[in-house]
Amino acid sequence: MSETAPAASPAAAPPAHPLRAVVLAGGLTFEREVSLSSGTQVVEELTRAGLDAELRDADAELLPGLAAAPADAVFIALHGATGEDGALRAVLDLAGVPYVGSPASACRLAWDKPAAKSVVRSAGVTTPDWVALPHSTFRELGAGAVLDLMVARLGLPLMVKPASGGSALGVQKVGRVEDLPAAMVSCFAYGDTVMVERYVDGVELALAVVDLGDGPRALPAVEIEPASGVFDYTSRYTPGLTEYHAPARVSDEVAERAAALAVQVHEALGLADLSRTDAIVTPDGEVHFLEVNVSPGLTETSMFPMAVEAAGHELGDVLARLLARRAEIAR
């Protein structure tokens, strides 16, 4: 279960006509531009792999377009709520449109970071302690008193992040009590509920999981080394601010432990096809779960493609196999 790369298997014989894939990207979220970059890259990769791939936005034209020209399967490259909270997938289910990725119910769970942490902790996975509260609690009970209790419980430094969302939007490391209120205000710009998490020092890993039909397998871990020490939005998308190492520079034992954790998270949350778990490895080798992404970035500089390459595979081939499998299941 904790193998770190799916074994290579012969590609299926090509169909008489190329598989028709629609790649969904864009949407109306803070992550629209990143999604469009992912979607463009996916279309290019699928085209190189021999598929008939088309990029579409998730707008009012989507459902009529899919009805008029049905796709064999849809690939969701939408980030943020549109692609990850399960709503779009529920609509695709209603329309009978097959898609790559996790079902709507699992996406809803993964999208809610505190809920996902509770589930994986119950499954035996280590994750930093946290408190998640809506904006109304601070307004009604007094922000100062609530923040004091949080610091007393979790200590300093802390990670402040929206309870849902991706691309590290709104995420901040707070080392001083006096900086906490401003971090909370900034975080509330991205959602009504904030999650305050105990900061864990260590090596940050991105752990991709793929299921090509023989069960979920973890790809080689990608080590993330941001110059600032915090892998926030700026560090993710500003060239030169973060170094990546694939495979990660960790011991074989830690790599196996991280791979097992990623697969365990994938299964505990009921995810399907692909996911990316973010984790921290402490100096003593303990792996801590941070969060999971059901629609990982697929741009040229994203970590999921790095993991696929480190496993010795072509991204387009892996994505094509996922699409072909979903199309075959739907037949």
Dihedral over Cα of 277, 283, 286, 289: its sign: negative
pTM: 0.91
C-beta of residue 89 within 8 angstroms of C-beta of residue 103: yes
243 has catalytic annotation:
no
Same domain, 208 and 289: yes
206-263: pLDDT as tens digits: 999 999 999 999 999 999 998 887 787 777 777 788 999 999 999 999 999 999 999 9
Same domain, 116 and 206: yes
Tell me whether residue 60 is in a domain: yes
Same domain, 117 and 256: yes
167 has catalytic annotation:
yes
Q: Per the residue annotation, which of 37, 291, 302, 321 is the catalytic one?
A: 291
Look at the chain and report how many structural domains it folds into.
Answer: 3
Tell me whether residue 15 is in a domain: no
Q: Per the residue annotation, which of 190, 233, 237, 244 is the catalytic one?
A: 237
C-beta of residue 97 within 8 angstroms of C-beta of residue 327: no
CATH number at residue 297: 3.30.470.20
Tell me whether residue 253 is in a domain: yes
Same domain, 69 and 90: yes
237 has catalytic annotation:
yes
Tell me whether residue 4 is in a domain: no
Q: Per the residue annotation, which of 37, 167, 235, 295 is the catalytic one?
A: 167
CATH number at residue 170: 3.30.1490.20
Q: Per the residue annotation, which of 170, 278, 302, 321 is the catalytic one?
A: 278
Q: Which domain holds residue 212?
A: 108-125+200-311
Q: Per the residue annotation, which of 27, 39, 101, 297 is the catalytic one?
A: 297
Tell me whether residue 8 is in a domain: no
Which residues touch 103 (CB under 8 Å, ≥6 apart)?
86, 89, 93, 270, 272
CATH number at residue 35: 3.40.50.20
276 has catalytic annotation:
yes
Tell me whether residue 14 is in a domain: no
Same domain, 177 and 224: no
23-82: pLDDT as tens digits: 999 988 878 898 999 999 999 999 999 999 999 999 999 999 999 999 999 999 999 888
